[in-house]
Amino acid sequence: MLRDKNLIPLSRQHQHALALCVRINRTPLSTPRELDAWQAEIQQHFEQEIQYHFAAEEAALFPAARRFPEIKSLVDELVADHAQLRNYFANATNRTLNREDLRQFGELLSIHIRKEERQLFEAMQKQMTPEELRKIGVSLDASLGAAPQTCIVPAETTLRKSGS
């Protein structure tokens, strides 16, 4: 099913986060400097985009979805994922993640995003009226508008800077 235009801003942000997950999965994470650089990048993603993304979902998307008994338990699961992911983000900020933690973070974030895209968004699009989705879109635009409009610096750039 094509993504409803009102959910596209979240889907775009999901693409950014999935790219982060793929990059984490492909990197060796073999040195303390790499671990630190990745944690700095994860912190930056959270501060510049993901915290606003989570807040928008929790304020606009999840309450609307909870009205439907068929997807209420999925929403509860997604909220629990947000709490677990926030812990990973806090640990990245404190630079306490190890190699395995980073891998687990990437896996959880990837699974979480796919649940939202493949299960939640699909169910909402099937069950909600265009007007309900439009109202969600207006609310999402207002919430996501608080996010800074900056480009996230990849870990490779951070590694090059710290190696100079």
Could you state, in order of their start, the residue ranges of all structural domains in the chain?
A: 8-147
CATH code linked to domain 8-147: 1.20.120
Mean pLDDT of 75-97: 98
Summarised one tens digit per residue, pLDDT across range 99-108 is 999 999 999 9
State the number of CA atoms in the 13 A half-sphere of 124 facing the CB: 33
Q: Which three-class secondary structure state does DSSP give residue 17?
A: helix
The answer on pLDDT for 63 being more than 90 is yes
Per-chain mean pLDDT for the chain: 91
The pLDDT value given to residue 153: 52
The pLDDT value given to residue 164: 42
Q: Which of 9-18, 19-28, 78-87, 153-162 has the lowest mean pLDDT?
A: 153-162
